[in-house]
Structure 1
C-alpha cells in the first residue's frame, strides 16, 4: 500500500493513501483513522478548519501543537 506523510497543524503523521493514490505533495486530504479518504481544495480545507474551531473540535490537536487561530 502507498503511504504518505501529512501535517496536522505541524504534527507529522504517516497515513495510508490506498483510497487517494492520486494525492500529491501539497494536496489537502481528509484523513480518517489513518487513511486519506478524500482530496479537497484549499478553500474547503480552510472552511473545514474554521468549522472545527467554532465547534471546539481541535482541542486535542491544539494541545499537542498550538494553532494560530488568526490563520487557517
Structure 2
C-alpha cells in the first residue's frame, strides 16, 4: 500500500533551469514548491501539468499524482493526525 500526502502548491517552475526546452520538456521538468504544514519540499509536477499555484496535490515519493480540493486535503490530514494518535 502506498501513502500519498496532501500539500499546497506555493510556486511553480516550468522548465529545467538554464536550458531551452520544447513544450513536452517543459511538462517533464515542471517542478513546484509544495507546503506540507509549513515544511516546503520540491516536488515534480509532471503528472499534473494543469496544476496552479494555490492548488492542493497528493504527493508520493516526490511526485504530485493528482489535484484535490481543499476539503479533501483537510480531511486526509485529519485522518493522518488520527493515525499518529494511535
Larger Rg: 2
Query: TM-score with structure 1 length normalisation?
Result: 0.76
Gaps of 5+ in 2: 1-28
**Corresponding residue number in structure 1 for 2:66:** 38
| Deviation beyond 6 Å, 4+ runs, structure 1 | none
TM-score normalised by L of structure 2: 0.64
**Whole-angstrom distance in 1 between the partners of 2:69 and 2:75:** 10
Find the aligned partners of 1:42 and 1:16 in 2 and give their Cα distance: 20
Over residues 7-37 of structure 1, what are the superposed CA-to-partner deviations in whole Å (9 max), with x where a residue is unaligned?
Answer: 0111111100010011100000000000000
Structure in which a larger fraction of residues adopt strand: 2
Question: How many residues are aligned here?
Answer: 57
Unaligned runs of 5+ in 1: 58-72
